[in-house]
Structure 1
């Protein structure tokens, strides 16, 4: 399968999964997977995602227990060698504590190995101690995100870079290697839970904006996405409707909702992030979390478009809170077999022609060719 065929299959809205890679005890039997078990489970989940017809697998980046994905490109490179169609992404790449030069090199290398099936999501991260571990100050989180991404953007687009900033040593005549595949950098999403500055950054560059869309009510994320769309148009990248938006979400499914709620409740009640807080019923009412039948997941996910407009990427969190691998793989069978086919069909209905498809390497390469031809003008 060539890149153009892959791009055609992933047109429209992309559907996939994202993981944070937590190592969490299973509250039903108190078993705790080893780090090795969790890493291997994540790769099994990615391979299953391709098997059931999903478009995207995205992994987080963490450098502290109880999380294991400290080296996303290593994991994604392993997955790339064993898949043919799946887009490999991150959820998040830490733009604040990683050296932009290393990000440029690592993801360009992965892009070559995966034949272009790569993009990434930039974010500041939500673990305060990570900053000093990598020699940075959390109080400079926003300035670091802005400056580091400006350098990364330049490194991928200029063969020889001279650069000087506040947070790293200057570069003189530097070339990042390898160069991006076909001269086209990986597409970048900027992810944020709460920072309007990151929505502004995404709009300035004409990049994508990904709203976590997990823990908080939709109104919170509507404000961020509305800001991003307005500023995207302000910077001349297209209309507000043409801005590139991605959303997160959480699901747990069984054939009927009663079984889903009964099985998921102990995992929810003891989850490190939201356990021992609002009830499962309160959380599902107030946030995008859906615990129920496949039809209930379909119906709630379709409301996202009503709230945020047509958008390009929908990722679901399915492997957190200590859920065993067997259960997660069952969730993927339901997601790929019963939910996503319906969502694809429904999302395509009434989608205006001017709303762009989700970016792929093939579509970005085609757009670059069009710009070159336009710049050259009519043939003599």
Structure 2
């Protein structure tokens, strides 16, 4: 079981002080947060991709390459790589390069994003979002697995005798998660390729995401990649931790009430009841997170959002201390003990390389 954090990289005023970090301060803070995640024993750091204020991570591979040079074990990922508006050729090259720099500690999550204007900014039509996601990923999948590619599709110029460089490390492409909050077509796509499906169920009730994960599992088995319970599932979540729940609720409430996405909407208590948001003591966060397995089955990756809504860096680092010392060790032990032997652990470069070697020797 892999545990980690993801960041959306928002630049948001602290509602308790009015202070707003500069873009430079926020970017450097994200690096500090990633290094702290490794220090406290987490497995994954993932960055979003945004091209509009108030967000700063417009170039995730630049950020992750910098983090790679300052960490040793952390898996570096994205919590969205925009498959709709990025050129698949550039994605293939950028992430293969990052693979080499990070000695394989790389995967990525494909998504369509949640900002409609990004499509025309990059010359695309939002009404073609699903077809773009399907076609672009089909090309990316081939670019990483075929040394020479001929290609013709609807959304980019043709390729003739093209070789993406560098080639993936050890001939093993980065593992791909397909992230979705609403589209069954993306769950189907993940199942078709035998990739991972990531349900970032941080805003809506669990029932909506249970249906998507169940569809993915069913279709994963249909395409012959394994049994439904062997499908590779990741989940999102949000936490705010203090030693006791009263302090956690009191301290987090002004950040929740003014958050860019869900602020000025449902109450903190209502939102916590209906979504994966956990605000409380370490034990309360453990208890709520353990319910995710009851809803979604055994899964391979859990990412938490901890640094949004204007929370100061000092507070975020305190969250990571509690997460790494008192929450994740308990979750790891509990969830690993319950996972059947035939259900795989989270994918790594080493496990993918071993699987490729086994497939070659068994022929």
Q: Distance in 2 between matches of 1:89 and 1:56?
A: 7
Look up the match of 1:60. Answer: 48
**For residue 182 of structure 1, what is the aligned residue in structure 2?**
170
- What is the aligned partner in structure 1 of residue 121 from structure 2? 133
In structure 2, C-alpha distance between the alignment counterparts of 1:90 and 1:214, rounded to whole Å: 16
Shift of 1:213: 1.1
SS at match of 1:54: coil
Question: Which structure 1 residue ranges, 4+ long, deviate > 6 Å from structure 2?
Answer: none
The one of 13, 21, 26 aligned to 1:33: 21
- Note if 1:333 corresponds to 2:324: no
Secondary structure of 2:338's counterpart equals coil
Q: Tell me, which stretches of 5 or more residues in structure 1 are unaligned?
A: 1-12, 376-380
RMSD across aligned C-alpha pairs, in angstroms?
0.4
Q: In the alignment, which residue of structure 1 is the partner of 2:112?
A: 124
Name the counterpart of 2:297: 309
Of residues 187, 208, 221 in structure 2, which corresponds to 1:233? 221
Note the C-alpha offset of 1:350.
2.4
- Tell me which of 77, 84, 98 is aligned to 1:89: 77
SS in 2 for 1:120: strand
Distance in 1 (alpha carbons) for counterparts of 2:205 and 2:336: 26
Gaps of at least 5 residues in structure 2 are: none
> 1:123 offset after TM fit, Å?
0.2
Deviation sequence 1:218-277 (CA, Å, 0-9, x none): 111100000000000000000000000000000000000000000000000000100111
Q: Paired residue for 1:374?
A: 362
Secondary structure of the residue aligned to 1:288 is: coil
Q: How does 1:214-225 map to 2 (within 5 A)?
A: 214-225=202-213
Partners of 1:39 and 1:84 lie apart in 2 by: 20
Corresponding residue of 1:286? 274
Matches within 5 A, 1:239-258: 239-258=227-246
Cα distance between partner residues in 2 of 1:299 and 1:357: 21
1:108 equivalenced with 2:96 (yes/no)? yes
Aligned residue-pair number: 363
Structure 2 distance, partners of 1:141, 1:131, is 9
Q: CA deviation at 1:289?
A: 0.3
Cα offset for 1:128?
A: 0.4
- 1:9 corresponds in structure 2 to none
Q: Does 1:207 align with 2:191?
A: no
TM-score, structure 1 as length reference:
0.95
Among candidates 31, 42, 62, match of residue 43 of structure 1: 31
- Find the aligned partners of 1:276 and 1:99 in 2 and give their Cα distance: 37
Please state how far the C-alpha of 1:344 moved relative to its aligned partner: 0.6
1:345 deviates by: 0.5
3-state SS of the aligned residue for 2:286?
helix
